[in-house]
Amino acid sequence: MSATLDRADFAGLVRDELGIDIDETELDRPFDALEGWDSVHLLTLLSLLEKETGAPLSLPDFLDAQSLASIYELVTR
Amino acid sequence: MVDLHPDRTVRVLSAGTALPGPPVDTEALAERFGMDRLWRQWVDTFIGTRTRHLAVDLATGEPRESLADLATTAAGAALVRAGVSAQDIDVVVLGSATPDTLMPATVNVVADRLRIDGIPTFQLQSGCSGAVQTFDVATALLATGRHRTALVIGGDVIAKHYDVHADLRSLPPELLVNYVLFGDGAGAAVLTAEPGHDDAPIVRTVLTRLAGLDREPGQVLRWYGTADRDRADTPANEDYKAIEELVPELAAEVTDELLDDLGWERDEITYLLPPQLSVTMTEKIVKRLDLPLAEEITVVGETGNNGNALLFFQLERLLDTMSAPSRAVAVAIESSKWIRSGLALERDGGN
Domain holding A46, by residue range, is 7-76
The answer as to whether A1 is a domain residue is no
Calculated CA dihedral for residues A58, A63, A64, A69, nearest 10 degrees: 70
CB proximity B41 to A under 8 Å? yes
CB proximity B167 to A under 8 Å? no
Q: Do A39 and B176 touch (CB under 8 A)?
A: no
CA dihedral (B96, B234, B245, B303) positive or negative: positive
Q: Do A42 and B42 touch (CB under 8 A)?
A: yes
Calculated CA dihedral for residues B254, B127, B232, B162, nearest 10 degrees: 120
The answer as to whether A24 is a domain residue is yes
The answer as to whether A2 is a domain residue is no
The answer as to whether A68 is a domain residue is yes
Q: Which residues in B lie closer than 8 A to residue A47 (C-beta atoms)?
A: 36, 38-39
- Estimate the share of chain B in helix, then strand, then coil, as percent rounded to the nearest 5: 35, 25, 40
The answer as to whether A38 is a domain residue is yes
CA of B107 to nearest chain A CA: how many angstroms apart?
38
CB count within 10 Å of CB B266 equals 15
* B104: preceding bond cis by omega (within 30 degrees): yes
| Sheet of strand B271-273, all strands in order from the earlier edge strand to the far edge | B121-125, B91-96, B149-156, B185-192, B11-18, B202-210, B339-347, B326-334, B271-273, B295-296
Domains of chain B and CATH, by start: 11-192 (3.40.47.10), 202-347 (3.40.47.10)
B310-347 tens-digit pLDDT: 999 999 999 999 999 999 999 999 999 999 999 999 99
* Burial label, A45 (beta-carbon count in 10 A; 0-12, 13-18, 19+): buried
Asked if B276 and B298 count as a contact pair (C-beta separation under 8 A), the reply is yes
Q: Best of A47, A63, A71, A75 to disrupt the B interface by mutation (most B CBs within 10 Å)?
A: A47
Q: What is the 3-state secondary structure (H, E, C) of B154-171?
A: EEECCHHHCCCCCCHHHC
Rounded CA Rg of chain B: 20
- Pairing between β-strand B51-52 and β-strand B24-25 as defined by DSSP bridges: antiparallel
β-bridge mates for residue B332, sequence order:
B341
CATH number at residue A63: 1.10.1200
Q: Do A59 and B45 touch (CB under 8 A)?
A: yes
CA of B272 to nearest chain A CA: how many angstroms apart?
28
Q: Do B36 and A39 touch (CB under 8 A)?
A: no
The candidate with the shortest Cα–Cα distance to B177, out of B63, B46, B306, B290, is: B46
Task: Report ipTM for this prediction.
Answer: 0.90
The answer as to whether A67 is a domain residue is yes
The pair phi, psi for residue B68, each rounded to 5°, is -60, -40
Distances (CA, A) of B77 to A71, B70, B150, B207: 52, 11, 14, 26
The answer as to whether A21 is a domain residue is yes
Name B25's Cβ contacts closer than 8 Å, sequence gap at least 6. B50, B51
Look up residue B294 and give its DSSP letter: P
Q: Best of B26, B37, B42 to disrupt the A interface by mutation (most A CBs within 10 Å)?
A: B42
The answer as to whether A16 is a domain residue is yes
- Please give chain B's pLDDT, 351 residues, in tens: 444 455 689 999 999 999 999 999 999 999 999 899 999 999 999 999 999 999 999 999 999 999 999 999 999 999 999 999 999 999 999 999 999 999 999 999 999 999 999 999 999 999 999 999 999 999 999 999 999 999 999 999 998 888 999 888 888 777 788 889 999 999 999 999 999 999 999 999 999 999 999 999 999 999 999 998 888 788 888 888 899 999 999 999 999 999 999 999 999 999 999 999 999 999 999 999 999 999 999 999 999 999 999 999 999 999 999 999 999 999 999 999 999 999 999 999 864
The pair phi, psi for residue B331, each rounded to 5°, is -130, 135
Q: Do A56 and B37 touch (CB under 8 A)?
A: yes
Calculated CA dihedral for residues B115, B119, B124, B129, nearest 10 degrees: -80
B176-221 tens-digit pLDDT: 888 899 999 999 999 999 999 999 999 999 999 999 999 999 999 9
Q: Do B37 and A58 touch (CB under 8 A)?
A: yes
Q: Which residues in A lie closer than 8 A to residue B33 (C-beta atoms)?
A: none
DSSP element (H, E) containing B82: helix B67-82
Q: Which of A38, A59, A63 sits opposite B38 (nearest CB)?
A: A59
Q: Best of B41, B170, B179 to disrupt the A interface by mutation (most A CBs within 10 Å)?
A: B41
Q: Which residues in A lie closer than 8 A to residue B46 (C-beta atoms)?
A: 39
Name B323's Cβ contacts closer than 8 Å, sequence gap at least 6. B270, B347, B351
β-bridge mates for residue B272, sequence order:
B296, B329
The candidate with the shortest Cα–Cα distance to B69, out of B102, B106, B101, is: B106
Provide the number of structural domains found in chain A. 1
CB proximity B120 to A under 8 Å? no
Q: Do B173 and A40 touch (CB under 8 A)?
A: yes
